[in-house]
Chains A and B, each alone.
Chain A
């Protein structure tokens, strides 16, 4: 009995024992082999590059890490050049806080914008909006930073004060100030920089989500319409389940950018080295901003410490992306009904 072609799952193949299972032989043509070589070469290159970056950061940061020991994770202050302690116990939480604020705003906005563009906008408007989003995604973050600094920051202060006054019972919005909630304590906060970072994250998230939504299988879409589905019904039962991977992927891309955003944060914050829950008042920080601010004035050892901080950022980003890709691989974006 020949079992070629039905051998992929031996336990389902009934009476055929595993010895009968055939390993399909694939003969590749010359062109195919070359293409395969090039493609897998580039794939491997990505791994090598990541290894090189991680290795480089580890090597450069090693001196500082040796001195700081576990204190690198538990110390808040940053004084490597003064012979003092240094660690990421404050700047890492600040970094994450800014990124979370940014995503908290960016993801809902991006999601609804992408849905509006693909599902609700008239055809002409759709084309215009798509082009504009792509354009916004290409604007350098410095521009957002400058605009945020001069236009948005003064306006966000009032909002910050309102939130502190009326929503102070939320731990994040609680402001502890001896002078009460005077406007002067709000400009350089986690919140303001998070909002400005969200502006540069929104176009990227939107572009990714829009692209995925627009690829939702037309057959399923029409199937849902033909059952009397409302637009929202189609979005909920066809577009969102299909686009789940894209939503997560787009958000993670945004998170990566938010975690690493340098210029906008550097322009806005006044550096702080004590972790806190509240996001509205003066003082924040981020690893990227720290590196940008300190790099030119640091000794060799100071730079080693900055490299170690960079390594921490690198690892966080990798972890976030690994977590995201496991979620994405469990969803079905890109797969449609096959006959």
Chain B
């Protein structure tokens, strides 16, 4: 999958040519060790250990407020953007610490992309510009044909190409909510991340868009490690290889109660609380 041949091969295949910018690109593993998080003096997460293996889809599940989003945001250094937010512990990408290591924070965020719960395309940019926004933001230079290829391949991967191919010049805000979310996914893919974090990416979407995005996740997971937060148990079972169950007891920080292969978590959980949650008995 080294597409060093950037001359217009013009293939519209859905194969993985996201390596456009970084020929050596491949999925990276993330390891969280003993992560704890605070907002001000309030501790919301404690003792989180999780290994997110390269090329795997990891689902984070758990009731509302248990710290799933917070944990996800520590993984690409978005947590520190919140005033008064602090954290302890260690997060490694392919063995390199993302907080204390030599990787600049902008590179951390480019290598570990994020799709937010609420679609947030850049409303003033066109659909095409939205896809390329990440390149512009990080100052990467591309040729015209590279850009055209990238727009088409990323939008195809996000399952949006057919809907927008004739309106690439429309502003991003002119799309529907589901289309906007898929545009955000395309935008994240365009910078060829090694990890993609998704925070309830389908919560505002209709079943068709949801299925499309799930399909996208399975397709990209060969080359991109995916970590997805979801409240939808069926979705977790459909898309993920591994699953981590978060829970916060009353007035206590959230922690991982159980973690393992998705099948085990859903059919044969070790902890009774996991069993209760995945069977819809609380949360």
Q: Give A residues with C-beta under 8 Å from B.
A: 123, 217, 219-220, 222-230, 233-234, 237-238, 241-242, 332, 335-339
Cβ of B180 to closest chain A Cβ, rounded Å: 7
Say yes or no: A337 contacts B180, CB within 8 Å.
yes
Say yes or no: A230 contacts B137, CB within 8 Å.
yes
Contact residues in B for A220 (Cβ distance below 8 Å): 120, 122-123
Say yes or no: B109 contacts A228, CB within 8 Å.
yes
A242 to B136, CA, bound (A): 17
Stretch at the interface among B76-84, B236-244, B254-262: B76-84
Q: Nearest chain-B residue to A332 (Cβ)?
A: B124
Cβ of B125 to closest chain A Cβ, rounded Å: 8
Contact residues in A for B116 (Cβ distance below 8 Å): 219, 222-223, 226
Q: Answer whether residue B187 sits at the interface, using C-beta atoms and an 8 A cutoff.
A: yes
Listed residue (B83, B120, B133) with the most chain A CB atoms within 10 angstroms of its CB: B120
A225 to B158, CA, bound (A): 21
Q: Out of B113, B118, B137, B138, name the residue touching A219 (CB < 8 Å).
A: B118
Q: Nearest chain-B residue to A227 (Cβ)?
A: B134
Q: Answer whether residue B213 sits at the interface, using C-beta atoms and an 8 A cutoff.
A: no
Q: Which 6 A-B pairs have the closest CB atoms?
A: A228-B110, A229-B137, A227-B134, A233-B137, A219-B120, A339-B177
Q: Answer whether residue B106 sits at the interface, using C-beta atoms and an 8 A cutoff.
A: yes
Main secondary structure of the interface of A (DSSP, over half): helix
Contact residues in B for A222 (Cβ distance below 8 Å): 78, 81, 116, 120
Q: Out of B83, B107, B119, B137, name the residue touching A337 (CB < 8 Å).
A: B119
Q: Answer whether residue B114 sits at the interface, using C-beta atoms and an 8 A cutoff.
A: yes
Q: Answer whether residue B191 sits at the interface, using C-beta atoms and an 8 A cutoff.
A: yes
Contact residues in A for B136 (Cβ distance below 8 Å): 233, 237
Contact residues in A for B125 (Cβ distance below 8 Å): 237, 241
Say yes or no: A339 contacts B119, CB within 8 Å.
yes
Q: Nearest chain-A residue to B181 (Cβ)?
A: A339
Q: Nearest chain-B residue to A217 (Cβ)?
A: B120
Say yes or no: A339 contacts B204, CB within 8 Å.
yes
Q: Answer whether residue B29 sits at the interface, using C-beta atoms and an 8 A cutoff.
A: no
Say yes or no: B180 contacts A226, CB within 8 Å.
no
Contact residues in B for A233 (Cβ distance below 8 Å): 136-139
Cβ of B174 to closest chain A Cβ, rounded Å: 11
Q: Answer whether residue B160 sits at the interface, using C-beta atoms and an 8 A cutoff.
A: no
Contact residues in A for B188 (Cβ distance below 8 Å): 226-227
A166 to B177, CA, bound (A): 59
A219 to B180, CA, bound (A): 13
Contact residues in B for A223 (Cβ distance below 8 Å): 116, 120-122, 184, 187
Say yes or no: A228 contacts B138, CB within 8 Å.
yes
Say yes or no: B139 contacts A337, CB within 8 Å.
no
Cβ of B182 to closest chain A Cβ, rounded Å: 13
Q: Nearest chain-A residue to B115 (Cβ)?
A: A226
Known contacts being A225-B81, A225-B109, is A241 close to B139, with CB within 8 Å? no
Q: Answer whether residue B173 sits at the interface, using C-beta atoms and an 8 A cutoff.
A: yes
Contact residues in A for B138 (Cβ distance below 8 Å): 227-230, 233
A337 to B111, CA, bound (A): 25
Interface residues of B in 97-114 (CB under 8 A from A): 106-111, 113-114
A283 to B133, CA, bound (A): 51
Interface residues of B in 133-160 (CB under 8 A from A): 133-134, 136-139
Say yes or no: B124 contacts A242, CB within 8 Å.
yes
